[in-house]
Structure 1
Amino acid sequence: MSRPDDGATAADPTTPPDQDAAARHATADVPHTPDDRGSAEPRRRKPRDKPLVAVITGPGKGKSSHGFGMLQRSWARGYRCGVFQFVKGGKWKVGERKAAQVLSDSGEGGTIEWETMGKGWTWIQRDLTESEDLTREGWAEVRRRIAEARYEFLLLDELTYPISWGWIDVEEVVATLRDRPGFQHVVITGRNAHPALVEAADLVSEIESVKHPIKQGIRAQQGIEW
């Protein structure tokens, strides 16, 4: 499968770097802006770099945090990043989202777009109240954005749950990931990852639970859980 940056040629030394990168990338079928160093400079990648699918699963705490850590790394490398949260509703004010907004606005790295289920789905114009319908809307939008190669790093937080509930067809998910164009890392988090999803992934980590404060009656708290 060809990649948008296949066949990139050496830069013209007489052309300013930013203009040269933008000109070389203008014909590629990848959304970009002149300030988007992630898509405008594909030569930053090494030949060994391959787009991966990662699944972070298991009963232990830290699956989403694992994904957010990779998100920060990708932002630092100038990647176009996206986050879709499939379980937490729009009213959840998670610390990672606030941090991502600050990073994205800083202009120091890449960009981060963040979509949260429920009222947080920014593209929905009609009123949807059923969680299953909202989830399917979210997945349909993810498929559209993958098809247009909008991101170089995409975190699908807690996607494993609607797959387990039968709201999203796992075979459709696998096919979408397998056939994604361009250079797109995709990370999926959540418990009980479907075997087909595990089989399709390049990287799978299972987080076990050894101890958890809830067993001592300590409730979830800000700065640790959100």
Structure 2
Amino acid sequence: MELGLIHIYCGDGKGKTTASMGLGIRALGRNKKVLLTQFLKDNDTGELISIEKLGENFQVLKGVPVRKFFKFMTPEEQNQTKLEHEERFRKVTQKAIDENFDLLIMDEIIASTNLNLIDLEEVVEFLKNKPKGLEVVLTGRNPNEKLIELADYVSEIKAIKHPYEKGITSRIGIEK
């Protein structure tokens, strides 16, 4: 890509991951190479099943599945998650550079920085020094002001109403 920009999809509403995946599909449709990783997720989502069918130009770097909320993890589990997230951040960003990807999607990296699982300053340094042609998408709630300042696009998805409020849990093919 000639000029790669930085996107943030944030907010308390449903659709941040969906928006980033949509951009990935759009890029793939134009013969762009897409690389995705998802932090704080369990690797059991419909989008990952679909992506596996798209071919080698849309790759996923999966991490160790996270099966419970961070606040419910033991200190040992939290530390293991931190180590894995730090290592994967470095691995996925290096892979994006070394293999000349056009689009890098880091789903829930904002939550990972907010929980100090990935050092915010390391993310900021990557974004400041990324290859000129690499488009980068960050998702999650409550992005740090430093990330907002670096971003070219910041889209907030606001929850007005959600089925969870009625006790309806995530459904296969819609939220999962």
Residues 42-191 of structure 1 mapped to structure 2, 5 A cutoff: 50-89=3-42, 92-104=43-55, 111-118=57-64, 130-148=80-98, 150-191=100-141
Tell me the CA shift for residue 119 of structure 1.
Answer: 5.9
CA-to-partner distance for each residue in 1:12-55, whole Å, 9 max, x for gaps? xxxxxxxxxxxxxxxxxxxxxxxxxxxxxxxxx6xxx5211001
Deviates more, 1:185-194 or 1:135-144: 135-144
Where relative contact order (Cα < 8 A, 6+ residues apart) is larger, the structure is 2
Residue type of the alignment partner of 1:96: E
Structure 1 contact 146–180 (Cα < 8 Å) conserved: no
Q: Which runs of 5+ in 1 are unaligned?
A: 1-44, 106-110, 121-128
- Rg: which structure is higher? 1
Structure 2 contact 104–136 (Cα < 8 Å) conserved: yes
- SS of the residue corresponding to residue 150 of structure 1 reads coil
Pairwise CA RMSD: 2.0
Q: Percent identity?
A: 30
Structure 1 contact 149–182 (Cα < 8 Å) conserved: no
Distance in structure 1 (CA, Å) of the matches to 2:83 and 2:126: 20
- SS of the residue corresponding to residue 118 of structure 1 reads coil
Aligned length: 165
Q: Which runs of 5+ in 2 are unaligned?
A: 67-76
